[in-house]
């Protein structure tokens, strides 16, 4: 079994909870609260329960958070065809 991917060291659980209160995106807030659980010593399974997802999704959130910080947990625009209207 592999080793868990660590989280960035420039944040902590309290900072992520503070950010989750300030965001306008409910999905980002849910993801931040799940990661705050990991920072506070909780298990990844507990974070998955808080986020309402599976362990693989929590791993994806950790990777996005490590790469881009809290903004990495925002929903992106889905790729698709270019708009025909201008």
pLDDT tens string 11-53: 999 999 999 999 999 999 999 999 999 999 999 999 999 999 9
Confidence of residue 1 (pLDDT cuts 50, 70, 90): low
What does pLDDT average to over the chain? 92
User: Distance between CA atoms of 51 and 19, rounded to whole angstroms?
Assistant: 16
Residues with Cβ within 8 Å of residue 2, at least 6 apart in sequence: none
Residues 50-64, mean pLDDT to the nearest whole number: 95
Diameter of the chain measured on Cα atoms: 52
């Amino acid at each position: 079994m592999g080793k868990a991917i660590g989280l960035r060291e420039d944040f902590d659980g309290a900072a992520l909870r503070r950010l989750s209160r300030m965001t306008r995106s409910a999905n980002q807030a849910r993801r931040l609260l799940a990661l705050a659980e990991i920072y506070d010593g909780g298990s990844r399974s507990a974070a998955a329960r808080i986020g309402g997802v599976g362990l693989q999704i929590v791993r994806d959130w950790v990777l996005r958070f490590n790469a881009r910080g809290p903004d990495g947990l925002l929903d992106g625009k889905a790729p698709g065809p270019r708009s025909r209207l201008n």
